[in-house]
Amino acid sequence: MAADTLFHRITDYANRADPYPLYAELREAGVARQEDGSYLVGTYHAIEALLHDPRISSDRRKRTVPDETAEEGLPPAFIGLDDPEHHRLRALAMRSFGPPHTPDRIDGMHDEITRIVKDLIGSFRGEERIDVVDDFAYPLPVTVICRLLGVPIEDEPRFREWSDAIVAGIDPTPGEDPTERPRAAAEARKAMGLYLGELAEKRRTHPSDDMLSAFVGGDSSEGQLTPLEIMTTSVLLLIAGHETTVNLISNGILTLLRHPDELARLRAEPALMPHAVEELLRYEPPVQMLPQRTPLADIEVAGVTIPQGAPLILLLASGNRDPLRFPDPDRFDPTRDDHQHLGFGSGIHSCFGAPLARLEAQIALNELIQYLDHPRLVEDPPPYRRSPVLRGPRHLLVESG
Amino acid sequence: MHGEPRDGRIVIVGASLAGLRAAETLREEGFAGTLTLIGEEPHTPYDRPPLSKQVLLGTVSADKTGLPQRREVDAEWKLGVRATGLDPVGKQVLLADGEKVPFDRLLIATGTRARPWPNPAEAALDGVFTLRTIEDAGRLAERLDAGPRRVLVVGAGFTGSEIASACRERGLEVTVAERGPAPLVGALGGTLGALAAKLQRAHGVDLRCGVTVTALEGNGRLTGARFSDGTGIDADVAVVALGAVRNTEWLAESGIAAGPRGVTCDAGCRAFDMYGIVTDDVFAAGDVARFPHPLFEYQLLSLEHWGNAVAQAEVAAHNMIHAGPRRRPHLTVPAFWSSQFGLNIKSVGVPTFSDQVVIAQGSLKDARLVAVYGYRGRVTAAVSVNQAKSLEYYQRLIETAAPFPPAPGAADRIESPEPVPSDVPDPKVLSHGPTVALTGHLPDRRLTLVQPAR
């Protein structure tokens, strides 16, 4: 292992349960250059400014230092592209997901999500101990994104394997198997793309009310996704729908169990939950950092010049705890009014699925805390998933009754 | 805090967006005295932006545009009666019905009205409209429902252009007549004006620039119009969109610095009197106010912007119930939006306060871009077309007086990064009034808004 730099410590699995003191250190440092030439930014206002700066690219192919994680195989999805290409692809994907073309899609899923949540709770009803991750927080968003895209849930074991490999591939932990993980990720992405592309092709002749059908059919007056773009876009949506909301829900339950007064209050006032979910997105965001930004020009941030082409890593979770932005930032306060968090990013890449994630988390957390009777954490901190980017418990054992 | 004026009588003249938001803020911040709102229109406050968009398209009816209230406002509402005078010594507002309403502090939020067609006989023809109130919008929508053969829009500012857009979306034939060289040119300058002209024509508008309407013709009912180039058209509806007139006539005898350009106030919304002495009990906010802005060299600005009405009303209300050092300045960066011909146009800063413009992101060809405006080498405004998410960055550049042109390196800069003259015309050459009026003076440039004689 290389020198003990700040980023080594942040990504070190030993610190996964509580990276927040390291983030405080990062904010103290301002902009932190790492020995490999990458730059970390962890203060709210600097991150906010960079997320809106048109000179910051999301396309890692723009990096000047050799990019060991550059993937072969599928081209980047819109999350890894810049405008105007990013806009074209995102707008085409949005046609069947949200306004202006499909304003009711997410709202219309309210009852279905509630039913899925109740079914999941029904499946472990009466059991004294549950694993919130495996029994609840993981299957919910997976079921929802499968319905939404039109992917058979029976195939879940197949794409879970691909998904794990892809998430491991975006893990920016320095110094570890620099070629193997990205290669495996590229292969998994390709396999998942072919799988989803095939599903989409079948929709040409057998369309249904799902997004894959919309991608291959419908009005083409504003352009259409190519078969390759359908692959990259649906891989992105399946992964994002899969690997983020699970953390929001499990981080949410973990946080509420650590704050029993707030838990009791939310049980008594379910209408507070939308507010509480925003605070969770600030306090324990499922996406801790954006590891793949690159400046297209030399850019000065807080007195430091970040050179063109340098890897730029934005620590969203650190910005969310910036005392210059939020009073008493380490306090979890579901009634906080000023919660303009960075949990969904900001600017042109702000989270595509945010309305869905909000709805899923609000319903899931409300139903689960109503169900749980005197819940207790079996293990605190719980074991965490490996990824420092998509951070959340791997298991969350809770006893109740 | 000692000495905070939280009691007494506050009167707000003008019961639209600014008046309502001021009233809410007063109560929110603890004003415990009596509050009176006076409005000439008989309606509770409603939202005007939809009137030239959704209402004309028929997707929202005119009576469904009421403004949501942010909180309960304990106030006496005197609606359907206009204020006719202000007695600053006796501290009372005179109403058209003879009532005199006493105040300790007054907020002037009387806004603007549509500039009428200058020939009263022609203006009275059936089929001739202006668009400012829900009655205007309801009647015009009804007439558009009836399927007129052709609609004439006089003036291609934002309101006129939005009306033309709604008509085209309904499949109606539209002629737009604009005295200036292009639509929107008065607010956005030559580059985006040319884009707007191209798009209007692409959407089937019969756009005529550089002409004035010399006559609206008809006998009781509008039948057509004559233009200054000698041509004419048949039309059964004409919408006069010549900009706005500030509602200040009622202040003529008051000694307040009020005139066609608005009510002059300081950065804290306190009105000046005619000697240039700032008052401490009369405040102004919204479209009617005219205030100095440090980002624009302390020139006096009059803004006909929704967001300004809200922000300025909040500052005015705060300052009405706070003393001295606890008062706040009205420093919001001006911003507005428009939707027309499939475009979402959003602006920050003051595009007319410029000498150059550059397409900093995107392209004119795709009609998706950010145009950045500069004045003497610093960024003063930015306008996005179908790219609103990009504006926040430029707002920061405006706020920090960043150098113009903006630093290179934008990921989607497609076209030439060379700035060109912004070509903001002298407001005198436009049919419509500008929606931002810089009413001060620069030594080397004509930026004075001259109100055309009626």
B431 or B150: which leads in pLDDT: B150
Residue A177 has pLDDT above 70, yes or no: no
Range B269-279 average pLDDT = 93
SS3 B20: helix
pLDDT at B315: 97
Calculate how close chain A gets to B125, using CA atoms only, in Å.
Answer: 39
Least confident stretch, A53-67, A304-318, B260-274, B413-427: B413-427
Among A45, A50, A53, most B C-beta atoms within 10 A, so best to mutate, is: A53
| pLDDT tops 80 at residue A58 | yes
- Is there a contact between B390 and A52 if contact means CB atoms under 8 Å apart? yes
pTM, 2 dp: 0.89
Indicate if the alpha-carbon torsion angle A132, A138, A144, A147 is positive or negative.
negative
Cα–Cα distance measured from residue B291 to residue B302, given in angstroms and rounded to the nearest whole number: 7
- pLDDT(A65) > 80: no
CB-nearest to B361 from A54, A57, A350 is A54
Residues of chain A found within 8 Å of residue B414, distances taken between Cβ atoms: 84
Only one residue has tokens 């069947």, namely A96
Which whole-number Å values give the CA distances from B185 to B194, B195, B426, in the listed order? 8, 10, 10
| Cβ–Cβ under 8 Å, residues B116 and B123 | yes
pLDDT of residue A69: 52
Chain A's closest residue to B414, CA to CA, is: A84
Q: What confidence score (pLDDT) does residue A181 get? A: 81
Asked if B390 lies within 8 A of A348 by C-beta distance, the reply is yes
Q: How confident is the model at residue B454 (pLDDT cuts 50, 70, 90)?
A: very low
Residue B449 has pLDDT above 80, yes or no: no
CA distance A308 to chain B (A): 9
Residue A247 tokens read as: 């953390």
Return the residue in A51, A60, A87, A350 with the most chain B beta carbons within 10 A, the one to mutate for interface testing.
Answer: A87
Neighbours of B284 (CB within 10 A): 33
**In chain B, which residues have their Cβ closer than 8 Å to the Cβ of A297?**
407-409
Using 50, 70 and 90 to split pLDDT, how confident is the model at B219? very high
CB A365 within 8 A of CB A249: yes
* B369 Cα to chain A: minimum distance (Å): 10
DSSP 8-state code for residue A87: H
- The more confidently predicted of residues B408 and B15 is B15
The verdict on a CB contact (< 8 Å) between A49 and B390 is: no
- Cβ–Cβ contacts within 10 Å for residue A275, how many? 18
